[in-house]
Amino acid sequence: MKKVFLLCFFIISISVAQDVVSQTLVKSHTSWNGAPLPAYPKEAPEISVLKITIPPHTTLPMHQHPIINVGYMVKGTLKVVSDENKTLILKAGDAIIEVVDTWHYGVNEGDEPVEIVVVYAGVKESVYSIKQ
């Protein structure tokens, strides 16, 4: 009986493992505007994951990020505009490698909230954004 149980467990484990899919959403050494990403600091790293919700018809202030970060759009559509008027439209399912030390802002022009999960790769006490 024990052998039958182990065989069934093994077969179930294999079938479950076969359903696992890994998909690279974004991978780059540059941000969305083509600028190279800066080197990581030599201090001990600290990773933060934030879920950011932007209400409908909201314009974020002009800001910049002093550290590398990447986002995944969960819901909605967001227009991102750099100080050089480069524009990026993000929709649910998109991933973005954000610009570093570059002024930009985001606009939710839609009728539903935008939800974006952002991972910041900094050090202890890192500032995520600096407003202009």
The pLDDT-based confidence of 71 (bands split at 50, 70, 90) is: very high
One-letter amino acid for residue 89 of the chain = I
- Reading the block at residue 103, the tokens are 């002024």
What is the pLDDT, as a whole number, of residue 110? 97
If residue 87 lies in a helix (H) or strand (E), which one and from where to where?
strand 87-91
Whole-model pTM: value is 0.80
For the 25-131 domain, the top CATH level (class) is mainly beta
Q: Could you tell me which residues are beta bridge partners of residue 70?
A: 97, 119
pLDDT (tens digit, 9 = 90+) per residue, 45-62?
Answer: 999 999 999 999 999 999
In angstroms, the CA 33 to CA 82 distance is 8
pLDDT (tens digit, 9 = 90+) per residue, 73-130?
Answer: 999 999 999 999 999 999 999 999 999 999 999 999 999 999 999 999 999 999 999 9
One-letter amino acid for residue 39 of the chain = A
